Amino acid sequence: MSMLIKICGLSTEETLEAALQAGADMIGFNFVAKSPRYISLETARRLGAKVRGRARKAALLVDADDAAIGATIDALGADILQLHGKETPERVRAVASRFGLPVMKAVGVATRDDVRAIAGYRGMADHILIDAKPPKDAAYPGGHGKVFDWTILEALDPGLSFMLSGGLSPANVAEAIKRVRPWAVDVSSGVESVPGVKDVAKIRAFIAAARDAAKV
């Protein structure tokens, strides 16, 4: 299976087009109001239409109720739901059943105990995204551009395929792929010039570096 590359937190037509042209497999759109990458449903409708089947569209949501999830799906035309909050395994399963879309559960990790907790989502989520655990005082979830200790992933069941996130960038994604061997990689702040503002050159460099590393 080839490496899947996800570029998350896109909010403009220019950066979306750059990611698509560079070969991103999945585009993440952020619907967390406190995030600098937040987009409205109106923007989601406009950007989602421009993907035109060229990549999969992921809707990033945090502890959203069914009404908010439904409205987001309708606006974006989402292909996959990325649940990035404190959703329980039972809630993940309920969302998948209610909306009939694949669900990817994001889990923040900092210790081996955090990694072991991922097992509770097996069979509930279609995919697992492993991210850095946010600081305790963080206003919103996510890795906040921090790289966690990849060696703690040795506690994972070796049969689990997962998407790796957390502080990835054009400079370290090749090393991450070679050391961790994830099914997919995800980047947001690592391809930005300032928080919430994507850099076209960094997007291209990240995708190129990930593709090259995945060939080895």
Cα 191 to Cα 103: distance, rounded to the nearest angstrom? 25
pLDDT in tens, 15-68: 999 999 999 999 999 999 999 999 999 999 999 999 989 999 999 999 999 999
Cα 78 to Cα 103: distance, rounded to the nearest angstrom? 11
**Burial state string for 135-150 with b = 16 or more CB within 10 A and e = fewer than 16:** eeeeebbbbbbeebeb
Helices marked H in 2-160 — which ranges?
Answer: 13-22, 41-51, 66-76, 89-99, 112-116
| Residue ranges making up the domain that contains 72 | 4-215
pLDDT in tens, 70-98: 999 999 999 999 999 999 999 999 999 99
Q: Helix, strand or coil for residue 144?
A: coil
How many domains in the chain?
Answer: 1
Whole-number average pLDDT of the chain? 93
- As annotated, the active-site residues are 8, 131
pLDDT at 215: 85
The pairing of strands 103-109 and 80-83 is parallel
pLDDT at 197: 95
Is pLDDT above 80 for 144? no
CATH number at residue 15: 3.20.20.70
* Phi, psi dihedrals of residue 127, rounded to the nearest 5°: -140, 155
DSSP state of 124: T
